[in-house]
Amino acid sequence: MTHRLYLVDSHLFENECTILSCQKVQEGFDVTVDETVFFPNKGGQPCDTGALGDVRVLDVREDGEELVLRTDGPLPVGMKVLGRIDEARRLDIMEQHTGEHLLSWCAYRLFDAVNVGFHCALSYATLDLDKPLTGEQVAQMETMANDYARRNLPVTAVIYDSEDDLKDVPLRKHTEGLTAPIRVVTIQNADSCTCCAPHVHSTGEIGAIKIVSAVAYKGGTRMTFLCGGRALSCFQRLQITVDAIARKFSTAGEEVLAAVERQETELKELKKEKAALTTRLEEYLTQELKAQAEDVKGRKLLVRMTDTDPKRLRPLALATLPEKGLTLLLTEKGSQLTYVLCCNGLKLDMGELIPAVNLALSGKGGGRGTLAQGSAPTPAGLPETMEQLKTYLRQRLAN
């Protein structure tokens, strides 16, 4: 059985240990030791990483009462080595986990909301509560948690030998299915719950606690939060962003929101003006295109390249149709060609004509009845191709 030193001292970052076994596996070597400071993947958080002697520890997992350390190199059985965990990684994860305990206690104390899930990744952490909370309630909970963090309250871990020893201990949460010995982590004058993971010595080590999002999840609330160094990094990134936006608007940081709202209002007005101008322009363009259509035995044929936005090409093409006529309009954006083929008052199926257009332009498209459309990379010699298409469509109209 591996003696787990982290259960007693979460701030012990190295220890001398004896190699009990070393087995070659596909991804490296599985090593067991007599005692260790390495915490495994457990309790909703990632394991410690670091080194055993001169080899790296890549992963740690539980195998019954043993801890198995995955290393990138072999170690002789019986050898004594120094085990060293990544101190910064351990401290970061402890900040998040103790912060979660404090947040969970505040949610329970304020709103009788129960923690039903916790996950700590290497860049964020989430807390799931069994009740939906409003934005105001989330802010109240965050404020209370930060208040208790600033009080620098002691955080202790006590191991109880039996369930009977626990019966008089007030717990916010008692995980089901635990077997003795049972470890309880307590924040003085606040939270107390069963937990197997390392924690900070006092709430001041948590640093700032920031809930960055709170969304509805399975009938309750899922919160994403950051503590300590992660919260500071988030604040710093946000400050850089706000300062950059403020410079763009030539305003102070606290005035950024008002500046953005003013620009949003101006943009909406400009979009309305643009829509009105586009409508008027298309009216003129429609009349101009109609005037360019040629007569083919009493029917009108229009084949033209336009500067129209591809999204507006279809309504423009339809607007050019007289009582009896055939229109092929094209437009180019970047190196992509978009085209619309449509007719009115004719016994022609655009689904039968579009394959010839696709072939000439090396494009793809389809349709049926009075409308078809397609797209293609802009081909070389496009003016000549359009003349060929005009000749083909002229013949179809004449026949």
- Write the CATH number for 144: 3.30.980.10
Return the pLDDT at 177. Answer: 66
The verdict on residue 347 lying in a domain is yes
pLDDT tops 90 at residue 10: yes
Question: Which of 200, 235, 270 delimits the end of a domain?
Answer: 235
Computed on alpha carbons and rounded to an integer, the radius of gyration of the chain in Å comes to 35
Question: Which residues on adjacent β-strands are paired with residue 32?
Answer: 21
Residue 368 maps to a domain: yes
* Calculated CA dihedral for residues 248, 250, 255, 260, nearest 10 degrees: -40
Contact (Cβ atoms closer than 8 angstroms) between residue 50 and residue 85: yes
Q: Range of 328's domain?
A: 292-398
Which pLDDT belongs to residue 376?
94
The C-alpha atoms of residue 262 and residue 258 are separated, in whole angstroms, by: 6
- Whether residue 96 sits in one domain with residue 174: yes
Looking at the structure, tell me whether residues 97 and 216 fall in a common domain: yes
> Which of 120, 89, 91 has the alpha carbon at shortest distance from 103?
120
Q: Biggest alpha carbon distance in the chain?
A: 103
Flag whether 99 is in a domain: yes
Report if residue 224 sits inside a domain: yes
Residue 352 lies in a domain: yes
300, pLDDT greater than 70: yes
174 in the same domain as 70: no
Report the range of poorest mean pLDDT among 137-146, 147-156, 172-181, 326-335: 172-181
Q: Are residues 113 and 230 in the same domain?
A: yes
Boundary-marking domain end, from 70, 85, 100? 85
Nearest to 124 by CA among 11, 222, 239: 222
Cα separations (Å) of 3 from 35, 62, 65, 166, 201?
4, 12, 9, 23, 21
Residues 293 and 320 sit within 8 Å (Cβ to Cβ): yes
pTM over 0.95: no
Mean pLDDT confidence for 14-22: 96
First to last CA, the chain: 93
- Which of 193, 211, 235 terminates a domain? The answer is 235
